[in-house]
Every structure is written in structure tokens, then in C-alpha cells.
Amino acid sequence: MEARDLIYTATFSPESLHVLFQAFDGAWTELAGDVGGNLESVEAARSELAEIVLDLAKGGPIEGDRLKADAVLSYRLMHN
């Protein structure tokens, strides 16, 4: 399943989904250069980031900038 589909199928309100997508896209923009160009690596990293965003959102509150920053930090901590 593609990363954005993971978020789309989660049980959040439409407003929250909008914030989740913005946080995911912003986080991916920051992290994409860290992943490399291999398609499998990119898809795996995007899926992992989507799971991180969803896990963080479940803990609430759903605030876009904070969610994005926390997702980037979590991903980088897992990969250092």
C-alpha cells in the first residue's frame, strides 16, 4: 500500500486528514534527500514515515507543524 493511501484509509475526520497529509508532505520534503533514489527505498521510507505520522496523530493533538517536526525527528532517530 502506498504511503498516502495508509493515511487516507485511517479513521480521522476530513479536517484531520488534511492536516496529516500536510504534515506528511512537509516531512517528506525534509527527508527525501536522506533516502536516495532507489524506488524501493523511497517507497519503504515513505510508508514508514506515513506510519510515524499516524502513530503520532493517534497520540494527539493533531497540529500540523508540530506533527511534521515530530515525524522528521522520529524518522531520523530511527535511522541514525
In the chain, domain spans: 3-78
Give every CB contact of residue 43 below 8 A, 6+ residues apart in sequence: 2, 3
pLDDT tens, residue by residue, 17-48: 999 999 999 999 999 999 988 999 999 999 99
Q: How far apart are CA 22 and CA 27, in angstroms?
A: 8
pLDDT at 3 over 90: no
- Predicted local distance difference test score (pLDDT) of residue 56: 96
pLDDT tens, residue by residue, 41-76: 999 999 999 999 999 999 988 999 999 999 999 999
Q: Tell me the whole-structure pTM to 2 decimals.
A: 0.92
For the chain, the farthest-separated pair of C-alpha atoms sits apart, in whole angstroms, at 34
